[in-house]
Amino acid sequence: MLYEKIKNKEEKISLVGLGYVGMPIAVAFAKKTKVIGFDINKEKVDLYKNGFDPTKEVGDDVIKETTVEFTSDEKKLREAKFHIVAVPTPVSDDHTPNLKPLESATKTLGRNLTRGSIVVFESTVYPGVTDDICIPILEKESGLKAGVDFKVGYSPERINPGDKVHRLETIVKVVSGMDEETLDEIAKVYELVVEAGVYKAESIKVAEAAKVIENSQRDINIAFMNELSIIFNKLNIDTKAVLEAAGTKWNFLNFTPGLVGGHCIGIDPYYLTYKAEQVGYHSQIILSGRKINDDMGKYVVENLIKNLIKADVSVKGAKVAILGFTFKENMPDTRNTRVIDIVRELEEYDIIPMIVDPEANVDEAEREYGIKFDSIKDVKDMDAVLIAVGHNEFMKLTQEDINSFYKDTGNEHKVLLDIKASLDRNEYETAGYKYWRL
Q: Which positions are annotated as active-site residues?
A: 264
Dihedral over Cα of 25, 100, 208, 75: its sign: negative
Cβ neighbourhood burial of 163 (10 Å; 0-12, 13-18, 19+) = middle
Q: How far apart are alpha carbons 196 and 201 in whole angstroms?
A: 16
Structural Rg of the chain based on CA atoms: 24
Amino acid occupying residue 31: K
Strands in 415-418's sheet, in edge-to-edge order, are 354-356, 320-323, 384-387, 415-418, 434-436
Give CA 329 to chain center in angstroms.
11
To 5 degrees, how large is the angle CA 257–CA 258–CA 261?
Answer: 135
- Of 80, 21, 72, 63, give the one whose Cα is nearest residue 44: 72
Cβ neighbourhood burial of 276 (10 Å; 0-12, 13-18, 19+) = middle
To 5 degrees, how large is the angle CA 19–CA 20–CA 21?
Answer: 90
Given the DSSP bridges, would you call strands 384-387 and 320-323 parallel, antiparallel or unpaired? parallel
Reported as half-sphere exposure (CB side, CA atoms, 13 A), residue 261 has a value of 20
- Name residues whose C-beta falls within 8 Å of residue 361's C-beta, 6 or more positions apart in sequence: 54, 332, 333, 334
Dihedral over Cα of 167, 171, 177, 180: its sign: positive
Q: Which residues pair with 119 in a beta bridge?
A: 83, 152
